[in-house]
């Protein structure tokens, strides 16, 4: 993956503001809808968003904060984040609890975020 562009922090701040608002209202959003709402420039807007969300996961994990990126979900019927979210969590030592599938882990991470905003 390419590194995150720091030449356009405006859309990145929009993403952070939207994530905070969603968490406060206990809502989720799809990657595509967030990319549109934050006005992430094309091309590769979803890729840019995914890289930035991974950056936020790393920050939150390092600071032992609930994961802001948990409010972003795939448009699939499962209504959980894409596989890259869970891979990134593992990379930052955020693991599934015993017997927990991806949906249950996501629900746990969302609950922690909602409780702490």
Flag whether 71 is in a domain: yes
Local structure of residue 72 (DSSP, 8 states) = E
Exposure string for 14-39, b = 16+ CB within 10 A, e = fewer: ebeebbeebbeeeebbebeebbeebe
Flag whether 98 is in a domain: yes
Residues sharing a CB contact under 8 Å with residue 113, sequence separation 6 or more, in sequence order: 23, 66, 67, 68, 70, 71
Flag whether 34 is in a domain: yes
pLDDT at residue 76, as a whole number: 87
Flag whether 4 is in a domain: no
Check: pTM over 0.85? Answer yes or no: yes
Residues sharing a CB contact under 8 Å with residue 11, sequence separation 6 or more, in sequence order: 38, 39, 40, 41
Residue in the structure block whose two tokens are 């590769």: 44
**Residues 92-115: what's their mean pLDDT?**
97
Flag whether 65 is in a domain: yes
Where residue 27 falls among pLDDT bands split at 50, 70, 90? Answer: very high
Residue 2 pLDDT more than 60? no
Flag whether 42 is in a domain: yes
The strand pair at 72-73 and 29-30 is best described as parallel
Q: In the chain, what percentage of residues exceed pLDDT 90?
A: 90
Where residue 77 falls among pLDDT bands split at 50, 70, 90? Answer: confident
pLDDT at residue 7, as a whole number: 57
Flag whether 92 is in a domain: yes
Range of the domain at 20: 9-115
pLDDT at residue 1, as a whole number: 45
Domain count, the chain: 1
pLDDT at residue 9, as a whole number: 82
Exposure string for 46-70, b = 16+ CB within 10 A, e = fewer: eebbbbbbbebbeebbeeeebbbbb
Flag whether 49 is in a domain: yes
């Amino acid at each position: 993956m390419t590194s995150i562009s720091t030449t356009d922090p405006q859309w990145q701040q929009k993403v952070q503001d939207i994530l905070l608002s969603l968490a406060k209202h206990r809502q989720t959003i799809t990657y595509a809808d967030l990319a549109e709402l934050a006005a992430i420039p094309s091309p590769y807007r979803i890729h840019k968003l995914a890289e930035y969300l991974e950056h936020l996961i790393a920050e939150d994990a390092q600071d032992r904060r609930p994961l802001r990126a948990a409010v972003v979900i795939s448009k699939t019927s499962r209504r959980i984040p894409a596989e890259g979210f869970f891979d990134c969590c593992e990379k930052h030592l955020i693991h599934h609890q015993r017997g927990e599938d991806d949906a249950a882990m996501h629900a746990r991470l969302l609950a922690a975020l909602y409780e702490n905003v």
